[in-house]
Amino acid sequence: MAARNDFTDPERVAHVAKLARLALTPEEQAVLGRQLADILRAVDELAEVDTSGVEPTAFAGPEGTFRAPGQRVAITNAERLANAPEATAGAFRVPRVL
Amino acid sequence: MIPAADWTLCALADRLATGEVSAVEVTRAYLDRIEALDAAVGAYLTVDAAGALAQAETADRHRGEGPLAGVPIALKDIFLTRGLRTTCASRILEDFVPPYDGTVVRRLREAGAVILGKLNMDEFAMGSSTENSAFRRTGNPWALDRTPGGSSGGSSAAVAARLCAGSLGTDTGGSIRQPAALCGIVGLKPTYGRVSRFGVVAFASSLDQVGPMGRTVRDVGRLLEVVAGHDPYDATSAAVPVPGGLGELPQGADLRGVRLGVPREYFPETGLQPAVERAVRAAIEQLRDLGAEIVDVSLPHTKYAVATYYLVAPAEASSNLARYDGVRYGLRVTADDLQGMYAETRGQGFGAEVKRRILLGTFALSAGYYDAYYRKAGQVRTLIRRDFDDVFERVDAIVTPTSPTTAFKLGERLDDPLQMYLADIFTLSCNLAGLPGLSVPCGFDEADLPIGLQLLGRPFDEAGLLRIGAAYEDATPWKARLPGDPPEVRR
C-alpha cells in the first residue's frame, strides 16, 4: 500500500497540486505531504472491508428526488460582473490565452 | 433595556406577536449585546445593524405576519445574502457580495425574521473547531479559551452567548450537531433533501444539509418549519410535506411506545471521555423512565465512517471548489498566464485545511487511484447505509453521544488533522446515510463544559426526533443553565 499513496515523495505532492491548480510553497509541500501520507495511511483501513458485489453509493437522498431545476434566478449582467476581479465591456477580463 | 436575550426564540416570537415588545427594541437589545460582548466571543464576521433595524421596523409595521416576525436571527457565513458580504470565512471570498438571497434566507425574510449578521465558521465549513476561519477565533461561551466546535462554531457560540435568538448552520459531517453539543445548545441536521441548499456555498454536495440551531428543541422546530420544504431551485430537494406544530410540541409528553436503539459501537473503550459516557448513559435511563423501550443494537461498519467520509467529502470538495479560479468573483492573484493565475489565486486564497482536502480529493479521484479510494469509499458507504436500514426496522430512533469529548482547548489539535477529524467520529455516519440527527444538551463534565446527546432518525422523521428531544428536555434541567456573559469590551 505504501507505494501507491506515498505523499512523502515531493514529486507526488507537486503532481497532485498541479492537477488541483494549487500553487504551494516548498514548506507547504513538505508539511501537506507528510499530513496527507498520514491521512492516507489511516483511510487505507477500508481495504480490509469486503465490498465484493456491493454497489457504491454516490448520493444518499431518497429515490426519485432528482429533477431538472425548475427555475433560475434572474441576475442582470451588471450584477454578475459586480464581483468580478476585472471586467471590461460587459465581460470578464482574463490574461491572454492564445 | 428589555431583557429580550433572556427569552427563548418561541417565547420571543409570541411576545412580538402580541405586541408586548416591539421588533425594534428587541433588535436594539441584541445589537447592544453584540457590541458589548462579541469582542470577547468572536462569533460575528459581519454585523448588519442598519439592515437589521430596517427589517425590524418593517416587522413592527406588519406585526404578527409570519411565524418569525421581528425575531433576530444570525446566519453562518455560508448562506448567500443579497447585498450582504458572504465570505465562507475564506480570503478567496473576502469581498464577495451576493447578487441574490438563497432559498432559506428568502424564507426567513418572508417569515418576518430580522437578520443581524453573518457568523464565523471553519473556512468552507471544513473543520471541527472554527479555527480554520481566515478571519478570527471564536471562543466557547462556557470557557473562552476553548473551541465552540465547528464548522458552525460562530452559530453555536452566538446562540449560547445570546447574541442572536437562533441561527442556521450547515452540517456535512457533524458541523451543526458537534458545535451544538460543545456549546450546550440544540442543533438539528435534517434529512438530506429536507432543506434547500440553493444559495448555500457548496462543500460536499451529497452530504451538505442546512439546519437550525437554537436554545431549545421547540426553537429549532420553529425554525425548521420555516426553512424546510421542497424548492424547485434545488434539484436534490425532496417533495416531502413538512409537518406543522414543531414549535408547539406538547409540554411534558411521555415516550411510551417509542423504541430507542443504543448502538454498542458508539461507546468505545478508548477515546470516549468518561464524563460524556456517564451523562449519555444517564440520559438513556431518563428516556427509559419517560416510557421509551431501550434496545441494544449494532451498526457494525461504524468504525469505517471516518475513513469513508475523508475520501468522499474531499473528493466532492475538490470538484466544488474548482470554481474559485479568480475569473468571475473572489480573489485574483495576477500571473503571467491563465494557468499561473489559477494556481496563484488558489494558493494564496485558500487556507491549509482547504488545501489538504483539495489535494486529498484530487488524488482520490485521479487516474489509477479512483477505484482504490473513491469507489471503495462509495461501496463502504452503502454498507453503512444498510446498517441503519437494518436497525430502523426494529427501532424508531438511535441514541448516542454527539461528540466523544467536551470542548477542547483552542490550538490543541491544530497541527494534527487526523486528531481533529476524530471530533466527528459519532456524527459522520448520519451524513453518509442521509439521515436526520439532533443534538440536545444532556449534562456537564467536571469543568462545567456542556455534553450533547445525539438522536438519529429515519429519513424525514425530524418530527419524531424533536418529539423525543422535547420530552427529554422538559424532564431535565439542562436548558435552564446558561453561560455567564463574558467581560464587556466596547470598541
Chain B residues touching residue A31 (CB < 8 angstroms): 352
Q: Residue A67: what pLDDT?
A: 58
Report the CATH number that the domain containing residue B118 is assigned in CATH. Answer: 3.90.1300.10
List b or e across A38-72, with b for residues whose CB sees 16 or more CB atoms inside 10 angstroms.
ebbebbbebeebebeebeebebbbbeebeeeeeee
Q: Residue A62: what pLDDT?
A: 65
> Taking 70 as the threshold, does the pLDDT of residue B163 lie above it?
yes
For residue B436 the three cell numbers come to 436526520
- As a whole-number percent, the residues of chain B with pLDDT over 70 amount to 100
Out of B22, B90, B151, B152, which one is annotated catalytic?
B151
Stretch B161-171: mean pLDDT: 98
Count: domains in chain B: 1
The answer to whether the CB of B67 falls within 8 A of the CB of B222 is yes
Q: Is B358 on the interface with A (CB under 8 A)?
A: yes
Alpha carbon of A69: minimum distance to chain B alpha carbons (Å): 5
The dihedrals phi and psi of B396, each to the nearest 5 degrees, come to: -90, -30
The answer to whether the CB of A39 falls within 8 A of the CB of A45 is no
The answer to whether the CB of B228 falls within 8 A of the CB of B136 is no
Helix (H, G, I), strand (E, B) or coil at B358: helix
Q: Which of residues 196-255 of B touch A (CB under 8 A)?
A: 206-207, 232-240
Stretch B184-189: mean pLDDT: 98
Residue B328 lies in a domain: no
Single-letter amino acid, residue B367 = A
Closest CA in chain B for residue A58: B378
**Strands, E assignment, B298-411:** 397-401
A 10 A CB-CB count for B411 gives 12
Stretch B114-141: mean pLDDT: 98
Closest CA in chain A for residue B350: A22
Handedness of CA B318, B322, B326, B329 (dihedral sign): negative
Distance in angstroms (rounded) separating the CA atoms of residues B271 and B334: 47
List b or e across B342-374, with b for residues whose CB sees 16 or more CB atoms inside 10 angstroms.
bbbbbbebbbbbbbbbbbbbbbbbbeebeebbb
Q: Do A32 and B355 touch (CB under 8 A)?
A: yes
Q: Residue A4: what pLDDT?
A: 56
Residue B345 lies in a domain: no
> Taking 90 as the threshold, does the pLDDT of residue B135 lie above it?
yes
Burial class of B285 by CB neighbour count within 10 A (0 to 12, 13 to 18, 19+): exposed
Q: Given B192, B328, B338, which is nearest A60 (Cβ)?
A: B192
pLDDT digits (tens, 9 = 90+) for B64-86: 899 999 999 999 999 999 999 99
The answer to whether the CB of A77 falls within 8 A of the CB of A91 is no
Cis previous bond, B90, omega within 30 = no
Stretch B364-383: mean pLDDT: 95
Q: Do B325 and A85 touch (CB under 8 A)?
A: no
Helix (H) or strand (E) holding B263: strand B259-263
For residue B432 the three cell numbers come to 453518509
pTM, rounded to two decimals:
0.97
Q: Do A4 and B369 touch (CB under 8 A)?
A: yes
The answer to whether the CB of B382 falls within 8 A of the CB of A52 is no
Q: Is B376 on the interface with A (CB under 8 A)?
A: yes
The dihedrals phi and psi of B211, each to the nearest 5 degrees, come to: -155, 165
Residue B388 lies in a domain: no
The dihedrals phi and psi of B340, each to the nearest 5 degrees, come to: -65, -40
For residue B364 the three cell numbers come to 482520490
Stretch B56-68: mean pLDDT: 95
**Which of A65, A66, A75, A79 is the mutation pick for testing B, counting most B CBs within 10 A?**
A65
Distance in angstroms (rounded) separating the CA atoms of residues B329 and B99: 11
Helix (H, G, I), strand (E, B) or coil at B213: strand
Catalytic annotation on B76? yes
B352-365 helix and B305-320 helix, angle to the nearest 10 degrees: 100
Alpha carbon of B370: minimum distance to chain A alpha carbons (Å): 12
What number of C-beta contacts closer than 8 Å exist between A and B? 197
Q: Residue B265: what pLDDT?
A: 97
Q: Do B325 and A21 touch (CB under 8 A)?
A: yes
A 10 A CB-CB count for B241 gives 10
Residue B167 lies in a domain: yes
Helix (H) or strand (E) holding B378: helix B376-391
Q: Is B352 on the interface with A (CB under 8 A)?
A: yes
Residue B39 lies in a domain: yes
Lowest mean pLDDT among B2-6, B152-156, B388-392, B394-398: B2-6
Distance in angstroms (rounded) separating the CA atoms of residues B307 and A45: 7
SS (H, E, C) chain A: CHHHHCCCCHHHHHHHHHHCCCCCCHHHHHHHHHHHHHHHHHHHHHHHCCCCCCCCCCCCCCCCCCCCCCCCCCCCHHHHHCCCCCEECCEECCCCCC
Residue B375 DSSP symbol:
I
Q: Do B376 and A51 touch (CB under 8 A)?
A: yes
Q: Do A73 and B233 touch (CB under 8 A)?
A: yes
User: Cβ contacts of residue B20 below 8 Å, gap of 6+?
Assistant: none
Q: Is B308 on the interface with A (CB under 8 A)?
A: yes
pLDDT digits (tens, 9 = 90+) for B198-253: 999 999 999 999 999 999 999 999 999 999 999 989 888 998 999 999 999 999 99
Q: Given A16, A61, A84, which is nearest B328 (Cβ)?
A: A84
Residue B417 lies in a domain: yes
According to DSSP, the β-strands at B397-401 and B259-263 are: parallel
User: Cβ contacts of residue B463 below 8 Å, gap of 6+?
Assistant: B243, B246
Chain B residues touching residue A90 (CB < 8 angstroms): none
The answer to whether the CB of B486 falls within 8 A of the CB of B161 is yes
Q: Do A39 and B360 touch (CB under 8 A)?
A: yes
Q: Do A55 and B382 touch (CB under 8 A)?
A: yes
Q: Do B343 and A82 touch (CB under 8 A)?
A: no
Chain A residues touching residue B310 (CB < 8 angstroms): 39, 42-43
Report the Cα–Cα distance between both ends of chain B, in Å, rounded: 20
User: Shortest CA distance to B190 belongs to which of B424, B465, B467?
Assistant: B465
Alpha carbon of B383: minimum distance to chain A alpha carbons (Å): 8
Q: Is B323 on the interface with A (CB under 8 A)?
A: no
Q: Residue B487: what pLDDT?
A: 86
Q: Quote the domain boundaries for residue B420.
A: 4-260+394-480
**Concatenated DSSP letters for B11-38?**
HHHHHHHHTSS-HHHHHHHHHHHHHHHH
Single-letter amino acid, residue B31 = L
Catalytic annotation on B151? yes
Q: Do B327 and A80 touch (CB under 8 A)?
A: no
Stretch B445-473: mean pLDDT: 98
Catalytic annotation on B133? no
Helix (H, G, I), strand (E, B) or coil at B397: strand
B455 pLDDT band, cuts 50/70/90, is very high
User: Cβ contacts of residue A46 below 8 Å, gap of 6+?
Assistant: B304, B307, B308, B311, B376, B377, B380
Helix (H) or strand (E) holding B158: helix B153-160
Q: Which domains does chain A have, with CATH numbers?
A: 1-49 (1.10.20)
Q: Is B328 on the interface with A (CB under 8 A)?
A: yes
Residue B266 lies in a domain: no
Stretch B367-381: mean pLDDT: 95
ipTM of this predicted structure: 0.93
Residue B96 lies in a domain: yes
Q: Do A57 and B382 touch (CB under 8 A)?
A: yes
B326 pLDDT band, cuts 50/70/90, is very high
**pLDDT in single tens digits along all 98 residues of chain A:** 444 567 878 888 999 999 999 999 999 999 999 999 999 999 999 999 999 999 999 887 766 555 565 567 889 999 999 999 999 999 999 988 87
Burial class of A18 by CB neighbour count within 10 A (0 to 12, 13 to 18, 19+): middle
User: Cβ contacts of residue B170 below 8 Å, gap of 6+?
Assistant: B76, B78, B125, B151, B152, B176, B200, B203, B208, B209, B210, B211
Q: Is B418 on the interface with A (CB under 8 A)?
A: yes
